[in-house]
Amino acid sequence: MAELVRARINGFEKNVGKAFAESTEGVEILDEPTATEDGSRRGTTRVGGRPVKKRTSVAKQAAEKKAAVTESAPNEKESDK
C-alpha cells in the first residue's frame, strides 16, 4: 500500500501518495496526520481545515426547494375523497 501524506494542492488539503506529492510541481507536503483520531482517513478540506461544501447555484437550489414543496403537497383529487 502506498504511503499517504497530507498535501496542499490548489487551495485544497487532501491525502495523496508520497511519490505523487514529491514528483508533482505546485504540491506542498504538510506536516499533518492523514487520519482522524478514530483511524478513518481525513477528507478533502479547504486551507485551514474548513470542510468543502457542495457547489450549487441559486437557481438549482430554488428548483430543488420547489420540487420538494410540490411533492409534499396533496393532489386535488386526493383531497376531494
Q: Spell out the per-residue pLDDT of the chain, length 81, in tens.
A: 579 999 999 989 999 999 999 999 999 999 999 998 999 998 889 987 788 888 888 998 889 888 888 766 566 665 555
Element (H, E) at 78: helix 76-80
**Sign of the CA dihedral running 12, 2, 18, 32:** positive
Q: Is 53 in a helix, a strand, or coil? A: coil
Q: Say whether pTM exceeds 0.75.
A: no
* Cβ atoms of residues 16 and 27 within 8 Å: yes
Asked if the structure places residue 53 within a domain, the reply is yes
Structural domains in the chain (count): 1
Please report whether residue 80 resides in a domain.
no
Domain limits for position 66: 4-74
